[in-house]
A and B are shown apart, each in its own frame.
Chain A
Amino acid sequence: MMNWTSEALDLFEKFCEKRRPDLLKAGSDPDEVVADWKTMLEMTAQKRQVTDITVEFLKEELLDIEAPWLLLENAQPEPPHPAQRIVRRVGLTLGGLFTLFFAVLFPIGVLTFELLVGLCEAFLFDPIPTWIHVALIALVPVSNAWILWCLWRRSLNPKRRQIAGVLTGLALGIAAWYALRFILITPFAFMAVAWFGVGLVPLAPLFAFVVGLRVRSRVRWYPQSVPMFRRSLPADKLAPLWKTALPVFLLLCVMFIPQVITAIYMPRLSAPNRTQRVQAVKMLRTFGSKQSLLRDCYRADKDFDILFIFRNGRSFNRRAEARAAYYRVTGTPYFAARYAMIKRPFGGEFQGGEWWDEDLGSDRVSSRLQGLSIIQSRLDGRIHSDSGIAYLEWTMEFKNATWRAQEARALIELPPNAVVSRVTLWINDEPCEAAFGGRAQTKKAYQEVAVRQRRDPLLVTTAGGDRILQQCFPVPANGSMKTRIGITVPLTVYSPDMAEGILRLPAFVEQNFTADADTHTSVWIESDEEAAYTTTGLRIVPATPESKSGIRGKLIPDESADAAIIKVPLSVPYAPIAATDPRLENGHAVEQTLLPAAGEWPTALAIVVDASAKMKAYRDDIAAILKAIPDTTEVLCILADDVPVLHSGKPAPRFFRFVGGCDNIPALEAAAEWAATQHYAPILWLHATQPLDNISAETLSQIFDFSRGKLKIFSHQFGPGSDRVSEKLASTRMIKTIPVFENPADDIAAYFHKQGGFWKRTLRRPDEWPNGVPTATGSTHIVRLWAHDEIAHLSRPFQTHTHSNAIEMATAYQLVTPVSGAVVLETMAQYKAHGLEPAAAHTAPGMVPEPATLLLFLGGGGALLAAGRRRRKRAA
């Protein structure tokens, strides 16, 4: 069938109507003649390859039908306005243009703008969290465009009309839904448009809805608007709105339910009633929206949609609530998850990474910062097998590719019982040693110089057992910052014949910078004994001029990588080995002795197992650990779920159910209460990362205080991440990290049941040596390890009067301990202002061989030289 434009049809109808009386008078059948004319016109159109019969075409043809009187009548209208002339040229009325604009052009423009810039996402809510939403919104203008096109071309045949009916229904449902989401902002948007001429964007859905009704009306009355087709087109009813608009509206409502549940239940996580809290967690885990929670973690203050109605008031701390809730629901800290929003090319803020560092200067590592990366990393080391000690220096360089200064923070897991003994920052390409001082003193200096004055400091403090936090600020805009930490490591001697020492290399457990795929930690370690074993990524190389063997390789400087292990045969004599304390007058030496450590499984043991989802991967390890515990040990197993679940004895594997993220404090409290009733019952705490900040460990501290230090928690963390519980309880020393190297079950069993081959390192520095001062043949790091032990002793709980002595000692021996920190400032004036003094470079440990080792090698070299000479002499 040939397409007729509505105007052409009108004109033809008019023409025929006027001719009808004449035709009747002339004795013709008007209907027959009209049909013949129509056939003839269509035939002529086809002959001329005209696809549509328009007014212009018809006028030309009607001239041949001898109707000049009609054409003259229509050809002399009032002169149209220039705009109207354009409109008429494209066959649209002003009303049609209005419809075209608000039904098609405006929604497309708004959607494109939101996809590019994300203005609504930034200030109200994210209207297009997924591509499904984009497709649904795009359906409105696209379907409207098609319908208007069909209406304009008069090509809406019955089938197309039915499709158009369905599409208008869908478009109306979608527009209605989004109009509802914007309902709270709509009055303000109208006011803004009226007064300032801006604010149309939030009104787009409302306009699309109103215009959508008009489009649907035109589709509905289409057959009646085309008189020529009245007989040929049955006026079928369109698909009703309850079959089209309502389902899509309800679908969007259903998709929105998780957000509503999240809005309702998230505040209840901090309800005083525990039952309410537990119910809220369950609801959020089951029905809540993780994406919504994650968005709140960053943008809790930037939302204004109908969710506002469901929230019980507006919490001033909703961002913190959301962050805690996200962990509780998913078991993953918010900063470790990626907010899967549609990336806007011109959008700002946290697109692709946290942009604004809220934790600047704090002791939280938090999110990875955009543009901040580690570009160089090298780990140098020397293993003194005669002393069973290693010294490592980890040099890192951070690059900031953004236009604003950023702070690089890293939580580093040290080797077991290791201590940071050197901290260096490069300022103007010159290495500057740190000043050691009290923890609070160094932190304050860092805060003032770094955060307020934005100068060049570096701070290193402890963060729970065997962990340090390194923070440096500012890594300048488009610049870099280079740091170094020196670590004195007592090798873990863990073999029946004391033949082998284990060195676990330091590793990141949390970092706020990224490491590119081609960035590696280059490892270069010299050993005065031939290394026996290394983990993947490292290799053993033959003797070098300075050592008997070397360990080389490349490691990934990322929290996801496991710490590397090196095993070295030890030449530690059973007899004590001594080192001179350079800080005191001649004659003062520290003596180190390694003795077999005795230990048995305790008679009672409380095991607290974190029920967080991240522990699911370690189910087998937990089973192996439980299996290793002898039956003679009375076991209370507590699953640290939302409500701690107690089980007397070793539970079956099905007892463990891991979901979300759990606050382990209530379970630890329950374990501590039980342990307090026993003669001696340590707590074995197996857990994943503990990132919750808003935890209260007061009850635990209280139990510890009343147990007079008897309460011991032995902790092992599976996987990377911070442990805020241990950090919070660091001052009590109640939590001790179990040294785990490769196999947690074996290592934890060996830790308790020490018959397996653990050796204990005893360090002493008596005032008097009855048998004379021993000859110093050991590494000077023995002195640092002794000082580390001594500081721990002086700063133990219930000995507050000796804490200042501990700080003094840590300062003198340049150690980072729970009571002390190390900070590098830029100028001497800054040091003086904070009562600090930077360490002299010559007092800091280094990578050059120590005198004793050098003598040993020189002696060995001399002997080899003499032997060679003898051989040559003999040969001569």
Chain B
Amino acid sequence: MSEHTSYIAQWITQMRRGWLEACILNLLARDELHGYGIMQRLEDIPGLGISEGSLYPLLSRLRMQGLVKVIRMEESSEGPARKVYGLTPQGRQIRTLMNDHFELMKRQNQIARKGDLS
């Protein structure tokens, strides 16, 4: 039982890694958000809670890849100034491709499970 649990945990982690990036790009397509805001929005989505330890490296990587950018620094009464992220044009394209690919994946899974697409 424990072996299965460990296996499925690793599998979910691998799946989430790519999927999280798509979700973050989708969120930023709707609103400009700071890291904490992104984290809160993700928490509102069942099963997509993410810790700061994962979010910030992810955001950093997306920024390094040119998909997101820091639009401005937002002063906060709760603490230090925070970076507000938004999508770059390249990020918008990638997001569209990602969403399309996800739709494709859903269909692929359906075919795999039921044998046809109807």
Interface residues of A (CB under 8 A from B): 22-23, 26-29, 32-33, 36-37, 39-40, 42-47, 62, 64-67
Contact = CB atoms under 8 A, between A and B. Distances in A.
Interface stretch (B1-9, B73-81, B99-107): B73-81
16 contacts: A23-B57, A26-B57, A26-B61, A28-B57, A28-B58, A28-B60, A39-B79, A39-B81, A39-B82, A42-B80, A43-B79, A43-B82, A46-B78, A64-B52, A64-B53, A67-B53
A44 B78 CA distance: 8
A43 B76 contact: yes
User: Which 6 A-B residue pairs are closest in the complex by CB-CB distance?
Assistant: A65-B53, A43-B79, A28-B60, A66-B53, A36-B56, A28-B57
A28 B54 CA distance: 11
A36 B83 CA distance: 9
B10 interface: no
A43 B74 CA distance: 13
B53 to A, nearest CB: 3
B117 interface: no
A65 B51 contact: yes
Contact of A43 (B36, B56, B57, B59): B36
Could you say which of B36, B58, B80 has the most chain A C-beta atoms within 10 Å of its C-beta? Answer: B80
B65 interface: yes
A29 B62 CA distance: 10
A44 B56 CA distance: 15
A67 B53 CA distance: 8
Contacts of A45: 79
Contacts of A32: 60, 63
B53 A43 contact: no
Contacts of A42: 79-80
A755 to B, nearest CB: 104
Contact of B52 (A26, A27, A65): A65
Interface string B82-114: 110000000000000000000000000000000
Contact of A27 (B36, B65, B79): B65
Interface string B14-34: 000000000000000000000
A129 B63 CA distance: 71
B52 A37 contact: yes
Interface of B: 35-36, 51-54, 56-61, 63-65, 76, 78-83
Contacts of A67: 53
Contacts of A22: 57
Nearest to B53: A65
B13 to A, nearest CB: 11
Given A64-B51, A65-B51, A23 B60 contact: yes
A46 B54 contact: no
Given A37-B52, A66-B54, A46 B79 contact: yes
A492 B30 CA distance: 122
B64 A28 contact: yes
A663 to B, nearest CB: 81
A37 B53 CA distance: 8
Nearest to A61: B52
Contacts of B63: 29, 32
B60 A36 contact: yes
Nearest to B79: A43
Contacts of B59: 36
Contacts of B36: 40, 43
Contact of A33 (B60, B65, B80, B81): B60
Contacts of B76: 43
B64 A29 contact: yes
Contacts of A36: 35, 56, 59-60, 83
Nearest to A40: B52
Given A28-B58, A45-B79, 9 more contacts: A22-B57, A27-B65, A29-B64, A33-B60, A37-B53, A39-B81, A40-B52, A65-B53, A67-B53
A66 B51 contact: yes
B81 to A, nearest CB: 8
Nearest to A44: B79
B80 A27 contact: no
B60 A29 contact: yes
Contacts of A43: 36, 76, 78-80, 82
Contacts of B83: 36
Contacts of A29: 60, 63-64
Contact of B56 (A27, A40, A46): A40
A742 B15 CA distance: 118
A43 B53 CA distance: 15
A275 B59 CA distance: 94
Contacts of A66: 51, 53-54
B67 to A, nearest CB: 11
Contacts of B53: 37, 62, 64-67
Contacts of A44: 79
Given A28-B64, A40-B52, A64-B52, A33 B57 contact: yes
A62 B51 CA distance: 10
A47 B78 CA distance: 6
A438 to B, nearest CB: 101
A27 B54 CA distance: 13
B51 A37 contact: no
B61 A27 contact: yes
A795 B52 CA distance: 115
B82 to A, nearest CB: 7
A42 B35 CA distance: 14
A266 to B, nearest CB: 69
Contacts of B79: 39, 42-47
Contacts of B51: 64-66
Nearest to B81: A39
A64 B39 CA distance: 12
Given A43-B36, A47-B79, A33 B64 contact: no
Contacts of B61: 26-28
Contacts of A47: 78-79
A43 B65 CA distance: 27
Nearest to B58: A28
Contacts of A46: 78-79
Given A42-B79, A46-B78, A37 B56 contact: yes
Contact of B64 (A27, A40, A62, A64): A27
A15 B80 CA distance: 21
Contacts of B80: 39, 42-43
A32 B65 CA distance: 14
